[in-house]
Structure 1
Amino acid sequence: MDDPPASGTPSNRLLLLTVGIAVFMTSLDITIVNISLPTISLEFGVSTATISWVIMGYLLVMCSFLPAFGKLGDLKGYHRIFSTGYLVFVAGSFLCGISGSAAMLIGSRLLQGVGASMLSALTTAIVMIALPRAARGKGLGIVAMFASLGIALGPAIGGFITTYLTWHWIFFINVPVGIAGFFIALRTVPKNSLPGRQKFDYAGAVLIFFAILGILFVLNQGQALGWTSFPVVLSLLGAFVFAALFIRRERSIPYRVFNIGLFRVRDYALSNLATLMVMLVFSGALFLLPFYLEYVRGLPPDIAGLVLTIPSGAIFLAGPLFGALSDRIGPRIPSAASAVALALGFIAIARPGVTGDDALLYGGLVLIGLGVGGFIPSNSVQVMALAPEGEVGSVSSMLLTIRNLGSTLGVAVFEAVLAGVVLAGITGPFVADAIPPGLLLDAFRVAFLFGGFTSVLAFITVMATRKKRKFAA
């Protein structure tokens, strides 16, 4: 097919805006609610465990529906699914805002998660089909920039709204922004070529939904409920059963939710493995850094929060730059260089002691942000270049699914590494305030060095891909 218009045209700038709004809102709503949970819990008179489903329900639904909506985009059109996603997200946000009970709020968040999944599943696919080959990496970098803004600004915006307005406005602010994004999407999102009368595999969609749901539940709740507890073990077994049934079904029918045969393509499998490793170490670092800054470095929460904006700021800067670089020289070298920056960043933050060496700490955080910000758009181009015709949406959604699985796995792995080192050096319970600072510092160092080692493995994985590849049209 012919190349789309240049990326600098007004229509493509508006398209990047509507895609950017979508990823900004869906990312923002992961972090904006956290700070208001104590207030919401108190107002509704429910436990922390109950109100935590406001966060977990949104994440589980958003991630588990991704493969289904990616395939629906291929079959029914990206324009249709993406635009509808805006309406569902806005409706869920409004219902969250007017919620008068915890049950209604959690249910509305599930609906909001469905809308977020419809939007998120197709963002990469839309950029790939709408922009010319020479501008796709830069476009994906701009999308990563919007996502980093959403994650970084969420706690600050949520705290401001909860303090000076009410928590209800955390959700109401999505309504006008989402409506604006919807009308821009109607005008700018292209209508991709659709296949003939092809069935949608509803049974396969259900199977992969429950497989992903089970895995995410185990990774999210394993530490809290106990890895050998009945709900965790049952969820893990269920996830394996559903995954096995899904793979068996997808091999036996022509109209698949996802072409699992793609994982037999060496470059595709390696690129997705690198994605899993990079997102694992980044999310694990983001999980541990607040504890490190407060318990080891002794920073107050407000200063620690400011320090944690450093990686997001670096992602904001690196995304478009590395994306444009991957357009010029191909995605392999920018992806590999990003993994190197990530590894150096982890080594740097593992060096400082209890006090001092702030330059190493801050420099390491910059390198981590540059590594992730450079890797996401470059790796996206690398993966999407291998998408077969008519399957761009399903490949896009699977890439995001793997990112989310990596992010969830990262929290569990880094927490386990930290706890393992600490428990090996104490005889009592794991209480952070009571652990000797030296032992706690050693535990964080081991976790960060593990992040560096995994980043090196990601570099090796990227370099094992072929140097040249055919870009998807």
Structure 2
Amino acid sequence: MLLNISKKQRSILIILVIGTFLGFLNQTLMNVALPNIMTEFHIGPSQGQWVTNGYMLVNGVMVPLTAFLIQRLTTRKLYLTAVGLFALGTLIAGFANSFAVLVTGRMVQAIGAGVFGPLMNVVVMNLYESDKRGQAMGMIGLALNFAPAIGPTLSGLIITQLSWRFLFLIVAPFIIADFILAFYLLKNIGNTKRLKFDFLGVVLSSIGLGSLLYGFSNAGATAWSDFTVWGFVVIGLIVTALFIWRQITNKTPLLNMAVLTYRQFVVAMLINVVLMIAMYGGALMLPLYIQNVRHYSALISGLILLPGALITALLSPLSGRLYDKYGPRYLTLTGILLTTVGTFSLSMVTLNTPIWLVVVSQLIRQLGLVIVLMPIQTEAFNALPLSLMPDGSAMFTTVRQLAASFGTAALVTVMTQVVVYAGKAHPTHTTLNQLQGIQVTFLFASVLMIIAAAMTTLLKQKTTI
């Protein structure tokens, strides 16, 4: 699938893709299983959400720290440690005899998973010349794009036939096998540096990013006027601002803010922010439409999403090759416009829209996203010198997670407000009111995509460092 790369490069890439795929897959498996977990441990939704929120918070807090870890530790030592922790957390969660142990297992998983993506980005940038990075990042797209898309379908199948514990026990052999492969085949890439550890920076980033992610995640189910939303968002903004000031003034920063002086990196990152807001928020709307408005099962909902997921898997490597050949601007614009068409089409769904039309609209949406997501990420990293790659990867991944979390909260808020407004006019039309909320939310996401399309004019056609 990848051309003109050595056997060593291919084996390293495969090992890293497996780990990253399993890490991203694990983020999405829990949503469908949450009702079963709550029933078994006799807990309510406020406690149950920590299965996903605990994972997300630890994962988000780990990412800025990876810039330091990648430069301080060898590739082999860091990856083996991360995979080992992920495997340990998977086994703890799979055999958990209490909810507290389950959440602990998820958090241990997240410590390892937080390293996978940033480390893989840095390794790829070091292994490949700039004209081959698109192909490699296209392979990474299999993990970044396919895993979240296939997660709900796979989870639905496992929960229907087995127990929620098998969501962990089925993953465990694969991550252990990846550890064994890495132990024998993974080589060190790049050189280590004896950096001073910025303990205060870690504390500030953990509190700041953790508060932001927690506040945004609460906004999906709680009003923004609640302290658990606005309070944590404000705390997060203040502490994150202190973290940024600390990094700018510190001689040995945890995260080098010099990456923000590279215009092409900043433009690509901002485009990605808008894409994440529209993509993650929009992705939440479709299952709500299928299950709550059309009253199909969670399994059917997952199957409806499956064709788009398969398109993502099949075309991710191709999108990378197209980037290497044509550059970012026109490829990104094409992908965003396709995503806009698919998203706008979903804003027109009704109570009687044929399901095949929903499948096609989502497929077009996914086709556009697979064309744009990895090329825009590759372009961001290509804009940086190799010395700043760990910091750039950590920065890009952190901002992407914040955008995804905020996007979900923002679009859920749009939907909720529309439903409330419609409910005042037609209090008995519950299903129709929810449909109207979903339609407006997809329309709002379409507007965001148009903004992202306009931002592509700021991209250079080719970047060389």
1:171 corresponds to 2:171: no
Relative to structure 2, which stretch is displaced further, 46-55 or 160-169?
160-169
1:255-285 CA distance string (max 9 Å, x none): 1122223224322221111111111111111
* Match of residue 458, structure 1, among 435, 452, 459: 452
Unaligned runs of 5+ in 2: none
Aligned to 2:210: 213
Q: How does 1:162-201 map to 2 (within 5 A)?
A: 162-194=159-191, 196-201=193-198
Instruction: Give 1:313's aligned amino acid.
Output: L
Unaligned runs of 5+ in 1: none
* Match of residue 303, structure 2, among 288, 303, 306: 306
Distance 2:15 2:380 in 1: 23
Distance 2:195 2:297 in 1: 58
Relative to structure 2, which stretch is displaced further, 248-257 or 348-357?
348-357
1:100-143 CA distance string (max 9 Å, x none): 11111111211111011122221211222123433221211111
Aligned to 2:221: 224
2:150·2:309 contact (CA, 8 Å) conserved in 1?
no
What SS does the aligned partner of 2:190 have?
A: coil
Distance 1:336 1:82 in 2: 35
| TM-score of the pair, normalised by structure 2 | 0.92
Q: How does 1:14-413 map to 2 (within 5 A)?
A: 14-194=11-191, 196-297=193-294, 299-356=296-353, 360-413=357-410
Q: Classify 1:222/1:300 alpha carbon distance in 2 versus 1 (closer, same or farther; 3 Å).
A: closer
Relative to structure 2, which stretch is displaced further, 152-161 or 417-426?
152-161
Instruction: Give 2:454's aligned amino acid.
Output: I
Distance 1:380 1:223 in 2: 27
Aligned to 2:7: 10
Distance 1:126 1:138 in 2: 14
Offset at residue 393 of structure 1 (A):
1.9
1:178-233 CA distance string (max 9 Å, x none): 12212323444442333543213222122112211111111101243432223334
Distance 1:429 1:24 in 2: 45
1:15·1:184 contact (CA, 8 Å) conserved in 2?
no
Instruction: Give 1:181's aligned amino acid.
Output: D
Distance 1:149 1:425 in 2: 36
Q: Classify 1:388/1:8 alpha carbon distance in 2 versus 1 (closer, same or farther; 3 Å).
A: closer
Distance 2:328 2:186 in 1: 25
Distance 1:345 1:39 in 2: 33
Instruction: Give 1:424's aligned amino acid.
Output: Y
Provide the aligned length of Structure 1 versus Structure 2.
Answer: 464
2:219·2:413 contact (CA, 8 Å) conserved in 1?
no
Instruction: Give 2:457's aligned amino acid.
Output: M
Relative to structure 2, which stretch is displaced further, 203-212 or 82-91?
203-212
Instruction: Give 2:22's aligned amino acid.
Output: M
1:350·1:444 contact (CA, 8 Å) conserved in 2?
yes
Relative to structure 2, which stretch is displaced further, 34-43 or 86-95?
34-43
1:7·1:132 contact (CA, 8 Å) conserved in 2?
no
Offset at residue 7 of structure 1 (A):
4.8
Q: Classify 1:428/1:212 alpha carbon distance in 2 versus 1 (closer, same or farther; 3 Å).
A: farther
Relative to structure 2, which stretch is displaced further, 311-320 or 154-163?
154-163
1:293·1:299 contact (CA, 8 Å) conserved in 2?
yes
2:328·2:462 contact (CA, 8 Å) conserved in 1?
no
Distance 2:292 2:99 in 1: 33
1:137·1:327 contact (CA, 8 Å) conserved in 2?
yes
Offset at residue 296 of structure 1 (A):
4.1
1:14·1:184 contact (CA, 8 Å) conserved in 2?
no
1:50-99 CA distance string (max 9 Å, x none): 12211110111111210101331023233322221001101111111221
Q: Classify 1:17/1:294 alpha carbon distance in 2 versus 1 (closer, same or farther; 3 Å).
A: same
Relative to structure 2, which stretch is displaced further, 373-382 or 258-267?
258-267
What SS does the aligned partner of 1:311 have?
A: helix
1:378-425 CA distance string (max 9 Å, x none): 011111012233221221122222221221112111111112222222
Offset at residue 144 of structure 1 (A):
1.3
| TM-score of the pair, normalised by structure 1 | 0.91
Q: Classify 1:169/1:290 alpha carbon distance in 2 versus 1 (closer, same or farther; 3 Å).
A: closer
Offset at residue 35 of structure 1 (A):
2.6
1:469 corresponds to 2:459: no
Q: Classify 1:48/1:140 alpha carbon distance in 2 versus 1 (closer, same or farther; 3 Å).
A: same
* Match of residue 438, structure 2, among 434, 438, 444: 444
1:415 corresponds to 2:412: yes
Distance 1:217 1:392 in 2: 28
Offset at residue 329 of structure 1 (A):
1.9
Q: Classify 1:188/1:331 alpha carbon distance in 2 versus 1 (closer, same or farther; 3 Å).
A: farther
Instruction: Give 1:151's aligned amino acid.
Output: P
1:4-25 CA distance string (max 9 Å, x none): x975432222222212211221
